[in-house]
């Protein structure tokens, strides 16, 4: 029996695949300025800091216009028309910006998933090359054993028997070891 043809090397495999790219840097460079703005607003409006800012502004506004002396109040209590108007303008302006930012984040997540798939496919190909190399080495070893006249099944049984024999004395030695306080069990 002839030795099989050697499998593909890792270098040959890597030459077939394009190198991995820095996904995060490419993604940031590809964003347009308005997309960067929308993403920045989405990240910051969706934070606890922004929530606390709006909560503080609302409490101060409503508290001042409810509890301050009448001549100092600038938004009539119970209606709070100016506060409602400003709040609605903020909501109307932020809503589409947040949606654009979420679309940008969704596109980034899709691109990241595609990049992860590329990495996984490359890893799978490399694992396949490694397994092919192991099979190739097994074939060479089997051929060498046959060339020397040794039977493969006998060699495997002999190796397994030696492994079992090596493990038995350890168990016996552990059984003979002194127990706590130096006494034999």
pLDDT digits (tens, 9 = 90+) for 104-129: 999 889 988 988 998 898 889 889 88
- CA–CA distance, 131 with 129 (Å, rounded to integer): 5
Please check the confidence at residue 19 and state whether its pLDDT lies above 50: yes
* Predicted pLDDT at 183: 52
Q: What are residue 184's DSSP bridge partners?
A: 178
Is the residue at 46 inside a domain?
yes
What's the pLDDT band for 166 if we cut at 50, 70, 90? low
* Predicted pLDDT at 64: 92
Who wins on pLDDT, 172 or 87?
87
Nearest to 10 by CA among 176, 101, 127: 127
Helix (H, G, I), strand (E, B) or coil at 113: helix
Is the residue at 87 inside a domain?
yes
Quick one: DSSP state of residue 75?
S
Nearest to 59 by CA among 83, 76, 90, 79: 83
Please check the confidence at residue 24 and state whether its pLDDT lies above 60: yes
Nearest to 17 by CA among 127, 135, 118: 118
Q: What is the mean pLDDT of the chain?
A: 82
pLDDT digits (tens, 9 = 90+) for 70-97: 999 988 888 889 999 999 999 999 999 8
Is the residue at 146 inside a domain?
no
For residue 32, the enclosing domain spans 10-124
Name the domain count of the chain. 1
Is the residue at 162 inside a domain?
no
Is the residue at 4 inside a domain?
no
Average pLDDT in the 29-58 region? 91
Average pLDDT in the 59-68 region? 92
Is the residue at 52 inside a domain?
yes
Residue carrying structure tokens 């800012």: 53
- CA–CA distance, 111 with 27 (Å, rounded to integer): 8
Please check the confidence at residue 49 and state whether its pLDDT lies above 90: yes
Per-residue CA distances from 147 to 2, 140, 155, 158 (Å): 11, 10, 14, 18
Is the residue at 161 inside a domain?
no
Enumerate residues 6+ apart whose C-beta is below 8 A from 59.
none
- CA–CA distance, 149 with 91 (Å, rounded to integer): 85
Is the residue at 163 inside a domain?
no
CA angle 28, 125, 15 (to 5 degrees): 70
Report for 16-20, 21-25, 123-127: range of highest mean pLDDT = 123-127
Please check the confidence at residue 169 and state whether its pLDDT lies above 60: no
């Amino acid at each position: 029996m002839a030795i099989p043809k050697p499998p593909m090397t890792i270098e040959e495999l890597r030459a077939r695949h394009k190198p991995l790219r820095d996904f995060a840097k490419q993604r940031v460079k590809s964003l347009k300025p308005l997309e960067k703005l929308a993403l920045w607003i989405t990240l910051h409006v969706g934070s606890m800091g922004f929530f606390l800012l709006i909560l503080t502004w609302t409490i101060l506004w409503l508290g001042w216009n409810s509890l301050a002396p009448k001549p100092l109040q600038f938004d009539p209590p119970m209606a709070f028309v100016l506060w409602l108007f400003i709040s609605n303008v903020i909501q109307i302006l932020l809503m589409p910006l947040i949606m654009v930012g979420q679309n940008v984040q969704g596109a980034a997540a899709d691109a990241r998933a595609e990049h992860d798939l590329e990495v996984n496919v490359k890893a799978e190909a490399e694992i396949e090359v490694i397994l092919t190399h192991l099979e190739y080495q097994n074939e060479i070893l089997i051929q060498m054993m046959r060339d020397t006249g040794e039977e493969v099944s006998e060699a495997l049984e002999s190796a397994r028997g030696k492994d079992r024999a090596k493990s038995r004395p350890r168990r016996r030695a552990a059984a003979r070891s002194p127990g706590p306080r130096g006494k034999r069990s």
